Every structure is written in structure tokens, then in C-alpha cells.
Amino acid sequence: MKQNKSHQVPSDKLTTLRCFIPYLAKYRFSFCFIALLVIFSAAVNLYGTYLIAPIINHYILPHNYDGLLQAVLFMCGMYALGVLSTAVYKQRMTRIAQAVIFDIRADLFEHLQTLPLEFFDTHTHGDIMSHFTNDLDVLQDAFHNCFDNIIQSFTIICGTLIAIFILNWKLSCIVATFMLMMTCLIQFYGKRSKHYFRIQQKAMGELNGYIEELVEGSKVVKVFQHETQSMQDFNEHNETLRHASAQALTYAGRTIPTVVSLSYVNYAIVASIGGFFVLANQLQLGELSAYLIYVRQTAMPINQFTQQLNFILAALAGAQRIFTLMGQISETDEGKVTLAQVTSSAHGRICESDTHTGQWAWRHPHEDHVEYVPLAGDVRFHNVVFGYRSDRDILKGISLYAKPGQKIAFVGSTGAGKTTIINLINRFYDISQGSITYDGIDVKLIRKADLRRSIAVVLQDTHLFSTSILENIRYGNLQANDEQIIEAAKLANAHSFIRRLPQGYHTQVQSNGSNLSQGQRQLLAIARAAVCDPPVLILDEATSSIDTRTEKLIEKGMDQLMEGRTVFVIAHRLSTVRNADAIIVLDHGKIIERGSHEELIQRKGRYYQLYNGQFELE
């Protein structure tokens, strides 16, 4: 379920509240039912108090015991109904609060998955996480407590005002003035605390981000004995959070005592003046009793109102962050070209097939017809210019081609732009000039999911998930059965080490593979790519952490894996790329040489230097 399609970034309370509407609308009947029950139970309370006047005047003062008993029984029945409705709406409210938060959480996660890599490049993971923890928590608290309480206190405040004006309008002018003062005070403190609540949520996100980074980098912290500095940095973040929380709660905390004090003053004044009215026979004793109970009761709902307001303020600050994240623009995908299973007839005509044929083609819809282009793995760059930031180009006019089945290697110094090039084939980022074609189709026209399905990548930084080895390999192709996975593991030469693990393929991988060696992680990543079985394979430093002996061992498997596929290889170890069809030498985002190993050695250019440099190193 995706509700917030408008990409509206809430800038104030009102727009934040507006973002909620779709979530609440789904439960509108339940909300109406709850509201009715809340109003009913509040009205029962108010009416119960109102009955005190006739009970005193008509039954207690004239000593009418029968009447008194009847009136008391009636009151008890009414209060019992009030209690019953409270129990029902409280239970219902809990369910709905959970359901609304469930929906928001699901949408938040769904939206997060659509965000471009740029978003993750520029936000700490802890901060992103805190949307799911702190921000959703406060929102849940507020939801759970606020909706019914706010309606209840509002009904009681309005009902009390009506009742006291009916009982005695003169005294009520004093009460109304005090109520107005209390409301102004609440407004005043509320505005200030909201500002700090927002800072508090932000500071909490930053602190989480910092902790997450340190936990992830705990080894580096220890290696460089950065504990003291880390503690200092942590203290700074912690102090910002403490200050914001203290300020927010101070302002929020001042509200209740001030309102309560005002209500006591109000009570004392009204009781004294009311007493004079009774003595002067302008008011009956029963009415004064009921009146004073009402006045005493005003502080409670106003208090409740303020408390709920604080809850809401904190929740709004959290909600604003949540909806801001939901308002982040998703990765755009205007691609219409999709992958389709096909069969080809004897005359070479390609037809789409519903069954699994193992043969794929690009389904390219034109205005008047649908064209099928066989999936071959032909990748071309035409004068591609790209920069992660608009003010700095990383790739400066790259043109290259990789024909189906060719093995293309990228070499060049660190930071030359090798990984960047392969990031573009996958459309992790969009280029600013030029074009990239895949089987003759501009990659911008291809739906991202289909494009990525046709390319397997062994990324430079291997990521493993906290599940079994088997499932980690299956990540490459969810349809793969266990035999295919084991086959892929054998191809990547991972089978022998996996078999020696305590639970073999069912061994659980601990956080990002901390229970495996770097090389073993790379072997799993290669197996993951192998199980994917796509026409294009990208290996970014796929064997950099594997020792040369194991690399030799997997060479055969790798050759088998590369067989018949277009392969892009990046490797610093030049011996790995010697047998490539073409070696592309990159320097500062430009191609400076292209050719086979022998050609480049003969040319005695940069490749020759790199190659010899490596020999010297070895």
C-alpha cells in the first residue's frame, strides 16, 4: 500500500497533519465509532455531576430517602455505562493505533527501497534507522494516547462551560476568563517546546548515526586507539541531545504546574464568591456544590489537553521527519522496455512465450508495433559524461564498446573511475551527457528492474546478509534450487570451505559475514553472481582478497562462468586481466589506451608502465 505518492515534503504542522489523512481515512468508521463512545462517556460524567444539584436540593435537604436512593441508583447505572464505553473505545483505539503505525512503517520501508543510491550516500544509516525507531515510537505513543483523550477533554471542557453557564452565568465569567488564561499559557509553552522537540528528534537521529558508524568501524577505532576522541565526539552529540530534550521537557513541564496553580486560584475565588451568593440567597447550596465540582474538574481536562498537546508536539516533530523521508523523490524509472521469455522460429521470428524457454529478448514497444531484440549483452558507451555532484565530472567523455561474449578489462589507478563506469551500466546513477546502449537500446528506455536482472555484479565491497550461506547465494536468483546453488558454489570454489563449516550450507552468516574471511566472502559473492546466470557479468575487484593459489584454483570456474557472456572485469592484479579481449586503461575519468595485452605492451604506454610496475612490486 503506497499512500504518499505526491512527494510532498511537510514544512509545517498543517502539511504534516495533511500527510496523515490518507492513513486515517482508511479507519474513518472506526474513528467515528470511537469518537461517539468518547463523547458519550464524557457526557455521562458531565451529567452525573449536574445531577448533584437536584440530589442535594430535592432529596438530601428535604430528607427524601426514597428519592435519594432512586437518584443514586440512576447515577450508578449511568456511570457503569460510561465505564463500559470507555473500556470498548480504549481497546479499539489501541488496535487502530497499531494498524496506522503498521501502515506508515510499511510505506516508509517501501519508499526507502525506491530511493536512489545518492540518498544513501548522503545520509548516515543510523539517522535513516532512527526514523523507524524513535520517530515511529513517538508517533505510536501519541496515537495511542491522544485521539480519544483529546476528544474527551474537549467534550468535557465544552460541556463544563455549558453546564456552569446554566448554573450561574456571573460566576462563569470568572471561570471562562481563567480558562482563557490557561489556554494562552499552553499555547505559549507549546510553541517553544515544539521547536526543541524537533531539534531533539534530529539530534537523536544524528546520535544514532554516530553510534552506528562507530559500531561498524569498531575495529578501526581500536586499531588507531581512537576511543578517547570517539568519546569526546559522542559527548558532543549526547550534549546536543540532552540540551534539546531538557529544553523541550522544561517548557512542556512548566505547563502543567502553571495550569494547575491557576485552576486552584480560580477555585478559591469562585468558592468564596459562590459562598457569598448562597448567603445572599442568590444561589442554592446544591447548585453551588455541583458548580464547585465542575470548577474543580476544569483543571483535569485542561491538564489532559496540555499533556496530549505535548505528546502531539513531539509526535509531529517525528512525523515531520518521517514524511520528509517519504517525500524524498524516488528513483525515476521511465523505462518501457522489458525482458521477456521468447521462442524463435526457424525463420528467425521471435515470439513471446508464457512458458520458461531459457531464451530472453527485450520487448520494445513502439507506437504501432512491438519489437523484440534478442538479449545478447552488447554494451556501448557514447561520449558519456558523469559526475556524482553536478559541479565535478568524474567521467569525461567515455566511449567504449563490449560486443556479446567479449571480456573487457578496466585498469587504471585508484580513483580513475572504474567502479563509476560499471555503476552506470546498472543505472545506479544517471549520466549527464552522452548515452549508454544495451543491445542497441538506450538504457534509459529499459525498466531498471529488467536491466539489473540481465546483469550480475560482484561488487567491490561484498555484502552478506544475516541468514544462511545457502540463502546468501540464493540472493542472486530466488528461483534457484539447492542443487543449482551448490553447483554455483563449486564453480566459485566456495564449496570446499562451506562444507567444512559447522552447519555447511546452513551455517548462519553473522553481521555482514564477520565469521568469514574476506576471501571467503568474495567467493560467496562470486557464487551469488554465478547462480544468477545473466548475459552480462561485472566483476569489480572480485578476486582482490583471494590468495593467488586459490585464484588459480577458481580460474577454471571463472572461465566457465565468463563463457559466452559479456564480462567487465576490474582488477588491480594485472595478471587477472591478461587474457581479456580488450583492456581499457583509464586515467582521471578518461580512456587513454585500449587494446589487447600484447598490443598495449608493445605500445609501451601507461599499461606497459603499470604492468612493469607490478612486476617490480612482485
Ligand X SMILES: Nc1ncnc2c1ncn2[C@@H]1O[C@H](COP(=O)(O)OP(=O)(O)OP(=O)(O)O)[C@@H](O)[C@H]1O
Q: Please, what is the minimum distance in Å from the beta carbon of residue 414 to ligand X?
A: 4
Pick one of Mg ion, ligand X, none as the site partner of residue 121 (Cβ within 5 to 8 A by kind). Answer: ligand X
Q: Is the Cα dihedral 86, 88, 94, 97 positive or negative?
A: negative
List 30, 245, 460, 596, residue binding ligand X (CB under 6 A): 460
Pick one of Mg ion, ligand X, none as the site partner of residue 394 (Cβ within 5 to 8 A by kind). Answer: ligand X
User: Using CA atoms, how far apart are residues 409 and 573, in angstroms rounded to an integer?
Assistant: 11
**Contacts to ligand X from residues 401-420, by CB under 6 A:** 412, 414-420
Pick one of ligand X, Mg ion, none as the site partner of residue 494 (Cβ within 5 to 8 A by kind). Answer: none
Task: State which residue, 388 or 608, has the beta carbon closest to ligand X.
Answer: 388
Q: Is the Cα dihedral 428, 433, 435, 436 positive or negative?
A: negative
Q: Residue-wise over 181-206: b if at least 16 C-beta within 10 A, else e?
A: ebeebbeebbebbbbbbbbbbbbbbb
Q: Which stretch binds Mg ion (CB under 5 A): 202-210, 253-261, 291-299, 412-420?
A: 412-420
Q: Please, what is the minimum distance in Å from the beta carbon of residue 537 to Mg ion?
A: 16
Q: Please, what is the minimum distance in Å from the beta carbon of residue 422 to ligand X?
A: 8
Pick one of Mg ion, ligand X, none as the site partner of residue 149 (Cβ within 5 to 8 A by kind). Answer: none
Residue 255 in grid coordinates: 505547563
Residues 6+ apart with CB under 8 A from 193: 247, 248, 249, 250, 251, 252, 310, 313
User: Using CA atoms, how far apart are residues 310 and 219, in angstroms rounded to an integer?
Assistant: 42
**Contacts to Mg ion from residues 439-498, by CB under 5 A:** 460
Q: Please, what is the minimum distance in Å from the beta carbon of residue 411 to ligand X?
A: 9
Task: State which residue, 60 or 416, has the beta carbon closest to ligand X.
Answer: 416
Other CB atoms within 10 A of residue 535 CB: 21
User: Using CA atoms, how far apart are residues 230 and 223, in angstroms rounded to an integer?
Assistant: 13
Pick one of ligand X, Mg ion, none as the site partner of residue 519 (Cβ within 5 to 8 A by kind). Answer: none
Pick one of ligand X, Mg ion, none as the site partner of residue 368 (Cβ within 5 to 8 A by kind). Answer: none
Task: State which residue, 121 or 354, has the beta carbon closest to ligand X.
Answer: 121
Integer-rounded Cα Rg, in Å, for the chain is 36
Pseudo-torsion of CA 67, 73, 74, 75, nearest 10°?
110
Strand arrangement, sheet containing 582-587: 455-458, 536-540, 566-570, 407-412, 582-587, 590-595
Pick one of Mg ion, ligand X, none as the site partner of residue 414 (Cβ within 5 to 8 A by kind). Answer: ligand X
Q: Residue-wise over 72-93: b if at least 16 C-beta within 10 A, else e?
A: eeebeebeeebeebbeebeebb
Residue 446 in grid coordinates: 529499459
Pick one of ligand X, Mg ion, none as the site partner of residue 286 (Cβ within 5 to 8 A by kind). Answer: none
Residue 374 in grid coordinates: 534478442
Task: State which residue, 419 or 543, has the beta carbon closest to Mg ion.
Answer: 419
Task: State which residue, 232 or 414, has the beta carbon closest to ligand X.
Answer: 414
Q: Please, what is the minimum distance in Å from the beta carbon of residue 420 to ligand X?
A: 3
**Contacts to ligand X from residues 424-453, by CB under 6 A:** none
Q: Which residues pair with 12 in a beta bridge?
A: none
Task: State which residue, 104 or 539, has the beta carbon closest to ligand X.
Answer: 539
Strand 433-438 to 441-442 pairing:
antiparallel
Q: Please, what is the minimum distance in Å from the beta carbon of residue 413 to ligand X?
A: 7
Task: State which residue, 228 or 414, has the beta carbon closest to ligand X.
Answer: 414
Task: State which residue, 537 or 570, has the beta carbon closest to ligand X.
Answer: 570
Residue 270 in grid coordinates: 469562585
User: Using CA atoms, how far apart are residues 525 and 128, in angstroms rounded to an integer?
Assistant: 26
**Contacts to ligand X from residues 362-401, by CB under 6 A:** 388, 394
Pick one of ligand X, Mg ion, none as the site partner of residue 535 (Cβ within 5 to 8 A by kind). Answer: none
How many CA atoms lie within 13 Å of 315's alpha carbon, on the beta-carbon side? Answer: 20
Task: State which residue, 243 or 572, has the beta carbon closest to Mg ion.
Answer: 572
How many CA atoms lie within 13 Å of 499's alpha carbon, on the beta-carbon side? Answer: 8
Q: Please, what is the minimum distance in Å from the beta carbon of residue 331 to Mg ion?
A: 22
Give the long-range contacts of residues 436-439, CB within 8 A, separation 24 or more. Answer: 436/379, 436/380, 436/381, 436/382, 436/384, 437/378, 437/379, 437/380, 437/382, 438/377, 438/378, 438/379, 438/536, 439/362, 439/373, 439/374, 439/375, 439/376, 439/377, 439/378
* By CB under 5 A, residue 419 contacts Mg ion: yes
Task: State which residue, 318 or 412, has the beta carbon closest to Mg ion.
Answer: 412
In the DSSP assignment, the letter for residue 135 is: I
Q: Which stretch binds Mg ion (CB under 5 A): 54-62, 98-106, 347-355, 413-421?
A: 413-421
Pick one of ligand X, Mg ion, none as the site partner of residue 415 (Cβ within 5 to 8 A by kind). Answer: ligand X
Task: State which residue, 321 or 418, has the beta carbon closest to ligand X.
Answer: 418
Q: Please, what is the minimum distance in Å from the beta carbon of residue 383 to ligand X?
A: 18
Q: Please, what is the minimum distance in Å from the beta carbon of residue 458 to Mg ion?
A: 12
Rule CB under 5 A: which residues touch Mg ion?
A: 419, 460
* Residues of the shown chain interacting with ligand X in the complex, contacts defined by CB under 6 A: 121, 388, 394, 412, 414-420, 460
